[in-house]
Amino acid sequence: MAIDPQHLLNYPIPQVRQTLTEKDTAFYALSVGLGMDPLDEKQLRFVDSARDFRALPSIVVVLGHPGFWVAREDTGIDAVRVVHGEQRIEWHKPLPVAGEVVGETRVTGVVDKGNNALMYSEKELRDGNGELLATAGMTTVLRGQGGFGGDSEPLHAVHTLPDSEPDISVDLPTRAEQALYYRLNGDDNPLHSNPATAEAAGYPRPILHGLCTLGVVFHALFRELVDYREDRLKALSLRFSSPVFPGETIRTEIWRDGSFRARVVERDVVVVNNGKLDFV
């Protein structure tokens, strides 16, 4: 059943005011795999508030998060069939480890791809004083809900990876229960926790959140390209190409210019593609 694009463009996604605690900040970093090496001092800065505590910059994707709003009946979206297609982040200011943050999310575009539709949304994340901290954009694939006769051109160009072999390869494991931890960041889509929901969506078992995969991949980039220095980050973009099952190993393949992709080692399947980290 086709969606109504004008309805989605005008849909009132609730503003989210969140009281961020140091515990929340540490939990996010732990939920995407930091701290697996408990002797790595650079990782410990993001999980231990007794140190020079910092927020892992990819936490932007869960702060001020409006929840699984697409599942509301009045959206007209078949929530069981939605897929997270792309993610973008732009950092504007250093992120707090605690305090009030405010997320304002809106739908910015809807594209008709025939059988499917692409829905673009953007979240502005601000601190309690109204200062813009970061902007996070995502593309959601609405499977089987195209055909409404709208514009078919994507709103964002896809980054083209270099023709050469990657310069760096980083393997990071995920845990079998990782999706059950990650959902406590506020993403409670049952696709990641309920076997029956996963089966209804065509998967043999619950899959890892795309944004958890992003966190694992971001860790590899953060370590290898900027040595855990958040002040060097500008922007990130990527496309999700296949799901990860919790417990699999994610291999991030990186070029020195910030281009990247990622694959699951056990199945040799590319799960993140067309990635680019902009940094100084």
Of the residues 33, 109, 146, 210, which is catalytic? 210
Of the residues 65, 84, 192, 219, which is catalytic? 192
d(CA 56, CA 25): 8
7: annotated active-site residue: no
Of the residues 103, 187, 209, 258, which is catalytic? 187
35: annotated active-site residue: no
187: annotated active-site residue: yes
d(CA 128, CA 112): 37
Q: Phi then psi for 158, rounded to 5 degrees? A: -90, 135
d(CA 85, CA 272): 10
Integer CA distances (angstroms), 237 to 58, 202, 259, 274, in order: 12, 27, 10, 8
254: annotated active-site residue: no
Of the residues 59, 207, 250, 254, which is catalytic? 207
DSSP the chain: ----HHHHHT--PPPEEEEE-HHHHHHHHHHTTTTSSTT-HHHHTTT-TTSS----GGGGGTTT---SGGGSGGG---GGGEEEEEEEEEE-SPPPSSEEEEEEEEEEEEEE-SSSEEEEEEEEEEETT--EEEEEEEEEEETT---S----S-SSPPPPPPSSPPSEEEEEE--TTHHHHHGGGS---GGGT-HHHHHHTT-SS----HHHHHHHHHHHHHHHHHTT-GGGEEEEEEEE-S---TTPEEEEEE-TTSEEEEEETTTTEEEEEEEEEEE-
Positions annotated as catalytic residues are 187, 192, 207, 210
